C-alpha cells in the first residue's frame, strides 16, 4: 500500500471517529466552534494573506491567467467576507434533532417520530477558491458532518492557513480537530482515493467546481455524489406579462452575472406579445452587451439576430449570449423546456394567475419561479445562510444545498412493550 493510501485511509478512520463525537455534540457547541472560527479568521488575516501570497507567486510562476489569479487572491475585505459568511451559518437554525414528522401508527399504537441527523462523513472536492475551505467547513459543522476537504493544489497554502484556524476553533469548542481535515498534499491520486470512499468511511462526495471536475467525480465515485452539472435555464414571458416587469426580469436573469448557474440561457416569449415587447427586450439586452440568437419567428420581429442552431437550444453559455424563441402558448413553452432544459431553474413572467399555477405545477425543474429573476437560484437568497452548491440530480436534495440538505434522518419509535403478531 502506498504511503498516500495509508495516510488517506487513516484520515478516513479519524474522520469517522470524529463524526461520532460531532454527531453527539450540542447545537451550542457547534455554534461556538463557528463563532470562534469567524473571529480567528478576522484576527489572523495577516497569516492567511501571507500564505495566499505564496499561492499567488506560485500561480504567476506557473503562468496562471489573470482571471484565475483573481479567483485565488485574498485581501482584507475578502477575508472579512469569509468570516461574515461563517457568522451567518452560525446563525442558521440548527437542522439536527428536528422532528420533521411524528404520528401514531394505526396498526400497533407505536409512536413514530422522524428526526434529522447528520449524514456522517463528507468528502468535498473543489477548485482554487480558498473561501470554500471555510464555507464548506462551516456548513459541515452546522450540519454535524465530519469533512475531508480536498482543494485545488493552486490554493493549498491559503487553504492550509484557513484549515489551521478551523482546527483550533474546533479544539477550543471541545470538538476533535479531525472533524474537518484538509488533504495536505497536492498529489492528485488523493482525489481517486476519496472517490473510492476510503474503505467505507466517506458517506457522500460533494464536488464543487466546473463540469470537468463534476464529470470525473460522477464517473468514478463509488459512493453517493451530490453535485451540480448545469443550469440550462429558461425565462418565459407569457402573454399576460406586464411589459416593464418582463423587461426588468429578463435583463436581470440574463445579464446580472452571466457566469452563475442560475443565469437564464434561453428566452421564450408568447407570439401574442412578441411583436411589441421583443424589440424592447432585445434593445435592453444589447445595451448591456448581450448577443442574441433567435428562431425564425423571433428573427422576423428583430431581424438582425443571428440564427440559432439546434445546439444553441441546449447550450449553457455562461456568457453574454441569449437564445430567443417565440412560442404559440404556455403548452409550447413547457414542451420546449421539457425538451431542452436541464431541470435547474425556470421562470414565468405573467399577471395571469392560472398561467402561473400551470407553469409552476407542470415544469419539472428543481426551482420554478413566478415573476422573479432566475438568478435567485442561490442558497443565501433562499435564506439557507449559505450553500455548498446547487444540486441538479433528483435524489436526496434538489436545488440549493445548505446545512439542512446535508442531513438525513432516523426514526425514533416509542412503544409500551409491543410485540408483533
User: Applying CB under 8 A, which residues contact a second copy?
Assistant: 20, 23-24, 97, 103, 105-108, 110, 112, 117, 119-120, 203-204, 224, 226, 242, 245, 248-249, 251-253, 256, 338, 356, 360-362, 364-373, 375-376, 380-383, 393-396, 398-399, 408-420
Measured from the CB atom, the residue of 150 and 398 that comes closer to a second copy is: 398
C-alpha cell at 253: 436573469
CB of 51 to a second copy, least distance (A): 32
Q: What angle do CA 400, 401, 407 make, to 5 degrees?
A: 145
Measured from the CB atom, the residue of 58 and 81 that comes closer to a second copy is: 81
Measured from the CB atom, the residue of 35 and 409 that comes closer to a second copy is: 409
C-alpha cell at 61: 510562476
CB of 299 to a second copy, least distance (A): 27
Measured from the CB atom, the residue of 7 and 112 that comes closer to a second copy is: 112
Report the distance separating Cα 114 and Cα 99, nearest Å.
6
Residue 24: exposure state from Cβ atoms within 10 A (0-12, 13-18, ≥19): exposed
CB of 357 to a second copy, least distance (A): 9
CB of 330 to a second copy, least distance (A): 13
Report the distance separating Cα 186 and Cα 188, nearest Å.
6
CB of 421 to a second copy, least distance (A): 8
Measured from the CB atom, the residue of 101 and 328 that comes closer to a second copy is: 101
Q: What angle do CA 182, 186, 190 make, to 5 degrees?
A: 70
Report the distance separating Cα 178 and Cα 170, nearest Å.
9
Measured from the CB atom, the residue of 320 and 380 that comes closer to a second copy is: 380
Residue 260: exposure state from Cβ atoms within 10 A (0-12, 13-18, ≥19): middle
Helix (H) or strand (E) segment spanning residue 225: strand 224-225
Sign of CA dihedral 16, 19, 21, 24: negative
Separation in Å, CA 70 to CA 57, 85, 387, 391: 13, 20, 22, 26
CB of 399 to a second copy, least distance (A): 5
Measured from the CB atom, the residue of 125 and 349 that comes closer to a second copy is: 349
CB of 8 to a second copy, least distance (A): 21
Amino acid at each position: 500500500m502506498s504511503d498516500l493510501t495509508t495516510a488517506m485511509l487513516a484520515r478516513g478512520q479519524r474522520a469517522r471517529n470524529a463524526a461520532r463525537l460531532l454527531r453527539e455534540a450540542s447545537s451550542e457547541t457547534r455554534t461556538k466552534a463557528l463563532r470562534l472560527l469567524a473571529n480567528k479568521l478576522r484576527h489572523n488575516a495577516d497569516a492567511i494573506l501571507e500564505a495566499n501570497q505564496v499561492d499567488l507567486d506560485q500561480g504567476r510562476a506557473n503562468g496562471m491567467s489573470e482571471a484565475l489569479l483573481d479567483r485565488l487572491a485574498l485581501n482584507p475585505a475578502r477575508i472579512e467576507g469569509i468570516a461574515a459568511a461563517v457568522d451567518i451559518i452560525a446563525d442558521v437554525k440548527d437542522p439536527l434533532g428536528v422532528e420533521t414528522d411524528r404520528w401514531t401508527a394505526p396498526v400497533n399504537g407505536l409512536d413514530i417520530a422522524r428526526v434529522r441527523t447528520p449524514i456522517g462523513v463528507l468528502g468535498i472536492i473543489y477548485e482554487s477558491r480558498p473561501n470554500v475551505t471555510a464555507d464548506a467547513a462551516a456548513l459541515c459543522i452546522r450540519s454535524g458532518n465530519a469533512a475531508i476537504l480536498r482543494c485545488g493544489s493552486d490554493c493549498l497554502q491559503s487553504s492550509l492557513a484557513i484549515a489551521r484556524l478551523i482546527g483550533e476553533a474546533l479544539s477550543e469548542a471541545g470538538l476533535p480537530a479531525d472533524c474537518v481535515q484538509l488533504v495536505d498534499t497536492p498529489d492528485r491520486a488523493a482525489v481517486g482515493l476519496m472517490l473510492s470512499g476510503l474503505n467505507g468511511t466517506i458517506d457522500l462526495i460533494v464536488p464543487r467546481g466546473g463540469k470537468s471536475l463534476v464529470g470525473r467525480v460522477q464517473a468514478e465515485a463509488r459512493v453517493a455524489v451530490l453535485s451540480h452539472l448545469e443550469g440550462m435555464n429558461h425565462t418565459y414571458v407569457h402573454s399576460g406579462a406586464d411589459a416593464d416587469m418582463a423587461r426588468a426580469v429578463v435583463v436581470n436573469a440574463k445579464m446580472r452575472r452571466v457566469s452563475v448557474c442560475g443565469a437564464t440561457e434561453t428566452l421564450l416569449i408568447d407570439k401574442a406579445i412578441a411583436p411589441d415587447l421583443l424589440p424592447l427586450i432585445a434593445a435592453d439586452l444589447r445595451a448591456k452587451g448581450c448577443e442574441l440568437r433567435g428562431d425564425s419567428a423571433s428573427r422576423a420581429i428583430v431581424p438582425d439576430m443571428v440564427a440559432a442552431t439546434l445546439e444553441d437550444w441546449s447550450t449553457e453559455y455562461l456568457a453574454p449570449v441569449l437564445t430567443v424563441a417565440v412560442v404559440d402558448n404556455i403548452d409550447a413553452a413547457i414542451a420546449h423546456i421539457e425538451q431542452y432544459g436541464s431541470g435547474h431553474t425556470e421562470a414565468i413572467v405573467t399577471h395571469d394567475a392560472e398561467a402561473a399555477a400551470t407553469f409552476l405545477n407542470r415544469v419539472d425543474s428543481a426551482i420554478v419561479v413566478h415573476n422573479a429573476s432566475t438568478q435567485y437560484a442561490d442558497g443565501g437568497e433562499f435564506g439557507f445562510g449559505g450553500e455548498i452548491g446547487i444540486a441538479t440530480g433528483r435524489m436526496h436534495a434538489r436545488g440549493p444545498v445548505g446545512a439542512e440538505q446535508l442531513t438525513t434522518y432516523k426514526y425514533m419509535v416509542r412503544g409500551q412493550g409491543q410485540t408483533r403478531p
